[in-house]
Structure 1
Amino acid sequence: MNLASQNQLRSAWRTLSAYTVLCAVLLSQHGILAAAPLSVGSALPEMKFKDQHDKPVVIPPDTRWVLMASEKPVSDMVSAVLSAEPAGVMTRMRLVYIADISGMPALITRMFALPKLRELSYSIALVREADEVAFIADFPRQTGTATLLRLENGRISSLGAVRTAAELRSGLGLPPATYVPGN
């Protein structure tokens, strides 16, 4: 290969490299601009998960509530509230519960978490894999709270963060829990 051909080849590679860098920058900027946190008026994006029984979970268009927890103490609080309700409450309320367990080590998930979750009488959409984490990346979150979204026609009509069982019950319009002596 002569010197002129080598110079042309280097020039072509520099041009291609410059275009590659430019495309990467533009695509990353587009990603930053497109990823806005969900807020009132936002359409709920299409999401696909699997529940604790490995069955597909999609959020149907008539869903009224989406509840998301991403910390174990918060998930325990949500589970306590939902477990205290009669069977089928989530269906009647058109409620989808999403639990982010992606940070849990796989061995712990398989040996301990999933067997315990399978004992529950309701479905939990589990966030376990990176592609599922992307579905919830735009959910507003606060440490120590569950995110509660109210939907109307697939759009968020209100959103809140609930810390306690009483706040969750109130947010969902459930009656206050009754105290049973001896429990």
Structure 2
Amino acid sequence: MKYWVALFLSLLPLWVQAVEVGERLAPWTLLDQFDQAYTLDDQVQVLLVARSMDAAKQVDVALQGQPKGYLEARHAVFIADIQRMPRLIARLFAVPAMQAYNYRVMLDRDARISPRYPAPVDKVLWLQLDNGKLVARHEYDSATQLRQALEQVQP
């Protein structure tokens, strides 16, 4: 039995490999805060990933005062990893609060997608894409820096 566990754990990194610059991102589908499905496509130029509540708050502060459709106009998508949040809290409080946002949040409820894009938990990961390929990655630990970077993206 220990042999099988050791074998499984040794193969785990092969299944959860991080995407590297120059590689194509595998398509995925997640539900947003309104339970509307979204599938990653080649039109996306910026993928923002928040793996904690603090990182998600940075995105929210960076987007304060922006009009509805701001991210979409910049071909940007925001993923929030909420798998650590208790399901009851997510269902009763967090997700309903997100419905007041004027931007979409793709919810990674089971950490199926966000582990593909490793980054420090307290930072927002910015993946710059070109026709589905990763061309650059950045990490932001301040809402001001993130807002400035978003303003540089041409709508």
Q: Decide which of 94, 98, 109 is 1:128's aligned counterpart.
A: 109
Equivalent residues in 2 for 1:9-48, closer than 5 Å? 31-48=12-29
Q: Residue type matched to 2:92 in 1?
A: M
- CA contact 1:49–1:127 (8 Å) conserved in 2: yes
- For 2:56, the equivalent position in structure 1 comes to 75
Secondary structure of the structure 2 residue equivalent to 1:134: coil
- Structure 1 residues 174 and 81, CA gap change in structure 2 (3 angstroms): farther
Q: Residue type matched to 1:157 in 2?
A: V
Cα shift at 1:28: 6.3
Pick 1 or 2: higher relative contact order, CA cutoff 8 A, min separation 6.
2
What are the superposed Cα offsets for residues 10-65 of structure 1, whole Å, 9 maximum, x if unpaired?
A: xxxxxxxxxxx999877765553354322211211111110000110111211000
The share of aligned pairs that are identical, in percent, is 26
- For 1:104, the equivalent position in structure 2 comes to 85
Q: Residue type matched to 2:146 in 1?
A: L
Structure 2 CA distance for aligned equivalents of residues 32 and 144 of structure 1: 22
- Structure 1 residues 144 and 22, CA gap change in structure 2 (3 angstroms): closer
Q: TM-score, normalised by structure 1?
A: 0.74
- For 1:85, the equivalent position in structure 2 comes to 66
Structure 2 CA distance for aligned equivalents of residues 22 and 118 of structure 1: 47
Q: Decide which of 127, 143, 146 is 1:149's aligned counterpart.
A: 127
- CA contact 2:62–2:143 (8 Å) conserved in 1: yes
Q: TM-score, normalised by structure 2?
A: 0.86
What are the superposed Cα offsets for residues 76-107 of structure 1, whole Å, 9 maximum, x if unpaired?
A: 11012123212211111000000001110011
Q: Residue type matched to 1:140 in 2?
A: P
Higher-Rg structure is: 1
- For 1:4, the equivalent position in structure 2 comes to none
- CA contact 1:69–1:145 (8 Å) conserved in 2: yes
- CA contact 2:24–2:134 (8 Å) conserved in 1: yes
Unaligned segments of structure 2, at least 5 residues? none
- Structure 1 residues 73 and 30, CA gap change in structure 2 (3 angstroms): closer
User: Is 1:172 paired with 2:153?
Assistant: no
User: Is 1:139 paired with 2:120?
Assistant: no
- CA contact 2:30–2:38 (8 Å) conserved in 1: yes
Structure 2 CA distance for aligned equivalents of residues 144 and 137 of structure 1: 14
Unaligned segments of structure 1, at least 5 residues? 1-20, 176-183
